[in-house]
Amino acid sequence: MSLKKIAVFPGSFDPITLGHVDIIKRAIPLFDSIIVAIGTNAAKKYMWTLEERKEKLEKAFSDYPNVSVADYDGLTAAFCKEHKAQFILRGLRNATDFTYEQTIAQANQKVNGVDSVFLICSPEFSYISSSIVRDIARNNGDISLLIP
């Protein structure tokens, strides 16, 4: 019997963007199961509620039975262990993202035994970030071309 390959795609998803959707859909063939994990941080102020973020994610992946959505507090690696996930899935838009993610990935592997898998964002989504979408939304701009 082979071990199921389970990946966790963590983030705040405040909001989910087309970049997130791109990474998750491209990762589907690589894993038996992907858990899109909404991290919660009491100290952080979110623009959308946890329920709204969860609902958007569930709607975006309703046609993909091997993609599930969950929320969690605490360390991502602890969430991975709890759900028997061997991988953390991350999307990279640029070298800055890689530099930031590299140290975290190395620590997660060394301390928790969870490997990180990086996918490079498709070029048409490389400029999109949740913070840019929030800024546009805060200023009454149209975000419809950036989110699912």
Tens-place pLDDT, residues 114-142: 999 999 999 999 999 999 999 999 999 99
The whole-number pLDDT of residue 1 equals: 55
Residues 27-70 have pLDDT tens digits of 999 999 999 999 988 788 899 999 999 999 999 999 999 999 99
List the structure tokens of 127: 């400029």
User: Which is nearest to 38 in space by CA: 63, 73, 66, 89?
Assistant: 73
Count of residues for the chain? 148
Is 62 annotated as catalytic?
A: no
Report how far residue 9's alpha carbon sits from residue 25's, in angstroms, rounded to the nearest whole number: 11
Q: Is 116 a catalytic residue?
A: no
Examine the residue annotation and report whether 130 is marked as an active-site residue of this protein: yes
Token pair of 18 as six digits: 């087309």
Residue type, 36: V
Q: Which of 20, 53, 54, 90 is catalytic?
A: 20
Work out the average pLDDT over 4-32.
97
**pLDDT for the residue numbered 42:** 77
Q: What is the separation of C-alpha 134 from the centre of its chain, rounded to a whole number of angstroms?
A: 16
Rounded CA-CA distance 141/139 in Å is 6
